[in-house]
Structure 1
Amino acid sequence: MEQTNKQQTKLQEENIRLKTAVEELSILNDIATVITSTQSLEKIIELIVNSCIKHLRVEQGAVMLLEEQDTEKPFQTMIRKQEVSANILPYRFDAQLTGWMLKNKAPLLVNDIKSDDRFRYIDDIEWPFKTLLSVPISLKGKMIGLLTVVNKKSDSGFSKDDQRLLSIIAAQSAHVLENARLLKQEQALLQMEEEIRLAKEIQLNILPKEIPSVEDYDIYAINIPAKEVGGDYFDFIKLPDGKIAFCLGDITGKGLSAAMLMANLQATLRGQAFIQKSISEIVKNSNLLLFNSTDSNRFATLFFGTLDFSKHIVTYCNAGHDSPIHISGENVFTLTAGGTLLGCFESAEYEEAIKGIEPNELIVIYTDGVTEAMNEKNEVFSEEKLLEVINANRKASAKELTDIIINEVKNHSANTPQFDDITLMIIKRVG
């Protein structure tokens, strides 16, 4: 009789084990079917969390993926899902959990959070979490994230069987999560490359196709874009009264948004210049347009002027731009009159100034991509070095001087990548 009871008990245990195994296989099959039905990283994570909430009978779940480049916050919580509780895992709770998991790289099962020493720093706050189970998501021995569930819907809390099941789910999900993440990164890279292509196309299309030929003057300008297109821009505009308008600007930011803002600024300046408004008024109106049509973190520096080559007079306004250099004999002047950069203050006022230009004098206008070019020692090219190069080659033609400056900048930063556009304009009176 006793032997029969033992056999029955053993049979019942085996049946329970088999039933549990079948249930686990069914759960894993359901999860596998669901997470392989999409390539979206966010959707895959959401489906994993939903399955865990359903099959482990918990109130809330979360997947946190490891962000290797972020040492301050190494985990990025992608999806949190609650079945009944509107509360989410608070940041300090996240910090305790992720810190422990990063250090131990092992499952964490806690059935009384408040009395657990690992979370002692959060006793002073009313927490809606009583129980917790978290397992690492690992791939090829490397931890890539966490799978966490909280508040088991039973008085007994989480069991070792729950831990085993969650670990199996994490292991099965690892490859899918990593593939989806790599796909997302690839898609982001392709999108970035397309934006860079469009930005370069916009920049190329708005730059002037030719440099104006003006009697008694030698004029040249060049733009060398960085790999990630910045917001440098220059232009020449032939005005109805015979003068030549010229400008050089630098838009904050990079990429497509900077290129589009650059195109808007060009259209604004060209439209106003043809109406024959004063220089200061043109700049003031451009500032108002940028202020009203862009985000608060978007602005531009601008040097805008006109050349009256019959009277040899330059009228200009400098809106927060690097001060152009005017070489006059042995004297060096900087063209600073104007006002603040564009797009910062709605009611900003601007002034204009007039400079005469004599034979053999020149004006060099540039962006910070020239003076702030960095070498391996984190030393900038500098305004002093630029002035030194100009003075040593002041007899060169506008193009020759431009080429010399560009070569000096490239030699200075030979072993470092070009992070910013390099833009340069030279106006030299030769007669």
Structure 2
Amino acid sequence: MEQVLTAQPLDWIHGLCDQFTEITGWPLHFTPAKPGERKSLEAELCQNAKYCWYESIEDGKRTLGYLYLTLPYETANDHMFVTAIKLAELVGGLISKIETMGSSLELKNREVTTLMDVGLSVTRQEGLQDALQKLLEAALQLTGFRAAGFFLLNSESNQLSLRVQYCLHTFEIPFHRRKLKESPPDLEAFAHDALIVNRHENPELAKWLPGGCLTGVCVSVQSETGPFGTLWAFDRRARHLNERDVHILKSIGAQVSTILERAVLLKESQNQLRLKKELKVISESFPVELAQERDWDREFQAAVQSISHHEVGGDLCEFIPLSPHVTCFALGDASGDSIPAAVVMASVRGALRTLTEGPIEQARDTQHVISRINTALYHTSLPHQFMSMLYGVIDTRARTFTYTNAGHPAPFWVHKGKITTLTSHGMLLGVTESNDYDYSVIPICKNDIIVGFSDGISEAMSSERKMFRSDGIMKVLENHIEDTADEVMRGIWSKLQQHLEGGNDGDDRTLMVVKFAPNPE
């Protein structure tokens, strides 16, 4: 299928498809769709037998293109047909979610920029109520009306409430609390910006005018983000309004909208400050923990470096002592980033702590722990939320390392000077309710090293659009085999920072190094 170029920066989707293809062996492709081409593209994907599966990618407003699977290059991968489709559906849903959020954020940024420019031209008042009072007073002075009021719309209940009035008491204005759907003049104003009500010419609407008033004008107050309410002006005379009067009232309505938007932005800014402080507190409750009790006979070194792209992230790395000679650790990476990823990570962390506080035999059973965490995450997370995880148990007396890898990047093992990649054992956590996970047991000798990492390390992108990959870790590791765990970790991290200089730094990153040698005094 011929590629169709659009103005959308969708190159990252092609990169994701390449990674999917490399991991599963099933070719995943993405074709952008220009306006007017959707039907022809969908028809081709539906009718051509070479396409096994397809799904549209949306950004909340339009179709950006189509994700589709073709037959694998090798028939040995045919048995993964169902799994490949499920994973492709998951990937497609995540891509659409990301693009929708990006589109929404871009629109919001444009709106905020425009509102800030408008806000600079509005005279500052000490309070919102005073500012609205001044605007109503100005409306009467410029148009000659005798009274005015502003009704604020509650978007949740669709009810209008009189919030500010000028030259009239609240009880003098009829229906000062009314349902929008039950108020034809307000609905008409929202539909056509303004409505003129004359008691004699529109007797069916006369009940919305205060007693003794013959003329009223209802003007909508709204912005690009939605309606705020309606502005009413009343007069005891039977007036025939000209375009100038209506235009002035619309201008006043626009200024009311600007003031309200600024008040909303101020509140949002305060909420963002509060949220930032709360996120800092949350981030401090998720430290990278190492078992460092000096009186434990622990014949290995451990070094960890972990950073989050946002205030909180989804990477997990914890060491938990089970007995004087047995320590378990977990290295994981939750889907997404920031708060959603942190929520998934916190759920897994809680399950991990609960399972490792039980009988030591269960905590040592890596299959059991991973399976229980998978089931717990499946029942407590959303369908698009999942996590990769490596769970291992170090026994320094038996000189063994037992582990189960659930979809996490395969760690390296340095054994007697030779570097190998450890085995993976199953699907990501939380994808399905039950999975059959395997485990591996390897012997550990003095000076053996295990290096684990999240995909934020291996997929770190340079300014030249090249990933660090696991090869980058291995090259550094080859030159640090005789070093301590901390020296190995700092060597890899330093090389990673050089690779990233001027490149993309948009992911959580965790690097863990374990060396089976006594801790230096």
TM normalised by structure 1 equals: 0.63
Change (3 A) 1:402 1:196: same
Change (3 A) 1:42 1:181: farther
Verify: 1:180 aligned to 2:263, yes or no. yes
Looking at structure 2, the residues matched to 417 and 317 of structure 1 have their Cα atoms a distance apart, in angstroms, of 31
User: 1:171 offset after TM fit, Å?
Assistant: 3.3
Change (3 A) 1:50 1:165: farther
Amino acid at match of 1:262: M
2:450 maps to what in 1? 363
Looking at structure 1, the residues matched to 181 and 335 of structure 2 have their Cα atoms a distance apart, in angstroms, of 41
SS of 2:384's partner is coil
CA RMSD of aligned residues (A): 4.3
Pairing 1:215-364 to 2, within 5 Å after superposition = 216-240=299-323, 242-256=325-339, 258-273=341-356, 274-275=358-359, 276-277=361-362, 278-329=365-416, 331-364=418-451
Verify: 1:391 aligned to 2:498, yes or no. no
8 A Cα contact 1:247 1:302, kept in partner: yes
2:508 maps to what in 1? 421
Change (3 A) 1:43 1:411: farther
TM normalised by structure 2 equals: 0.53
8 A Cα contact 2:402 2:439, kept in partner: yes
Pairing 1:150-189 to 2, within 5 Å after superposition = 160=243, 163-164=246-247, 166-189=249-272
Looking at structure 2, the residues matched to 427 and 400 of structure 1 have their Cα atoms a distance apart, in angstroms, of 11
User: 1:268 offset after TM fit, Å?
Assistant: 2.1
SS of 1:281's partner is helix
Amino acid at match of 1:26: A
Change (3 A) 1:379 1:270: same
- Listed one character per residue, the Cα deviations across residues 261-295 of structure 1 (whole Å, up to 9, x for unaligned) are 43442332233234221210111011111111222
Change (3 A) 1:208 1:267: farther
8 A Cα contact 1:368 1:422, kept in partner: yes
SS of 1:322's partner is coil
Change (3 A) 1:312 1:404: same
8 A Cα contact 2:159 2:180, kept in partner: no
User: 1:250 offset after TM fit, Å?
Assistant: 1.6
Aligned residues: 327
Higher relative contact order (CA 8 A, sep 6+): 1
- Listed one character per residue, the Cα deviations across residues 343-379 of structure 1 (whole Å, up to 9, x for unaligned) are 1110222111111223332110111222222333443
User: 1:256 offset after TM fit, Å?
Assistant: 4.5
8 A Cα contact 2:297 2:324, kept in partner: no
Amino acid at match of 1:249: G
User: 1:230 offset after TM fit, Å?
Assistant: 0.6
SS of 1:291's partner is helix
Looking at structure 2, the residues matched to 201 and 385 of structure 1 have their Cα atoms a distance apart, in angstroms, of 31
Change (3 A) 1:394 1:166: farther
Verify: 1:207 aligned to 2:289, yes or no. yes
Q: Which has the larger radius of gyration?
A: 1
- Listed one character per residue, the Cα deviations across residues 176-221 of structure 1 (whole Å, up to 9, x for unaligned) are 13312321330342243033213212212x7346378655433222
**Percent identical across equivalent pairs?**
25
Looking at structure 1, the residues matched to 293 and 275 of structure 2 have their Cα atoms a distance apart, in angstroms, of 32
Looking at structure 1, the residues matched to 141 and 517 of structure 2 have their Cα atoms a distance apart, in angstroms, of 95
User: 1:396 offset after TM fit, Å?
Assistant: 1.6
Gaps of 5+ in 2: 1-139, 166-178, 196-217, 231-240
User: 1:318 offset after TM fit, Å?
Assistant: 0.4
1:3 maps to what in 2? none
SS of 1:220's partner is strand
8 A Cα contact 2:333 2:387, kept in partner: yes
Looking at structure 2, the residues matched to 339 and 428 of structure 1 have their Cα atoms a distance apart, in angstroms, of 26
8 A Cα contact 1:49 1:81, kept in partner: no
2:6 maps to what in 1? none
1:155 maps to what in 2? none
Task: Return the match for 1:21 from 132, 136, 143.
Answer: 143
SS of 2:286's partner is helix
Looking at structure 1, the residues matched to 162 and 464 of structure 2 have their Cα atoms a distance apart, in angstroms, of 48
8 A Cα contact 1:202 1:260, kept in partner: no
1:57 maps to what in 2? none
Looking at structure 1, the residues matched to 326 and 293 of structure 2 have their Cα atoms a distance apart, in angstroms, of 14
Looking at structure 2, the residues matched to 337 and 134 of structure 1 have their Cα atoms a distance apart, in angstroms, of 65
Looking at structure 2, the residues matched to 421 and 145 of structure 1 have their Cα atoms a distance apart, in angstroms, of 36
SS of 2:450's partner is strand
8 A Cα contact 1:326 1:363, kept in partner: yes
Change (3 A) 1:344 1:228: same
Looking at structure 2, the residues matched to 237 and 262 of structure 1 have their Cα atoms a distance apart, in angstroms, of 16
SS of 1:305's partner is strand
SS of 1:298's partner is coil
8 A Cα contact 1:251 1:258, kept in partner: yes
- Listed one character per residue, the Cα deviations across residues 99-140 of structure 1 (whole Å, up to 9, x for unaligned) are xxxxxxxx9899xxxxxxxxxxxxxxxxxxxxxx999979xx
Change (3 A) 1:391 1:179: same
Gaps of 5+ in 1: 1-17, 52-79, 98-106, 111-132, 150-157
- Listed one character per residue, the Cα deviations across residues 24-67 of structure 1 (whole Å, up to 9, x for unaligned) are x622xx23xx67xx9x999999669999xxxxxxxxxxxxxxxx
Amino acid at match of 2:497: K
8 A Cα contact 1:229 1:421, kept in partner: no
Change (3 A) 1:270 1:405: same
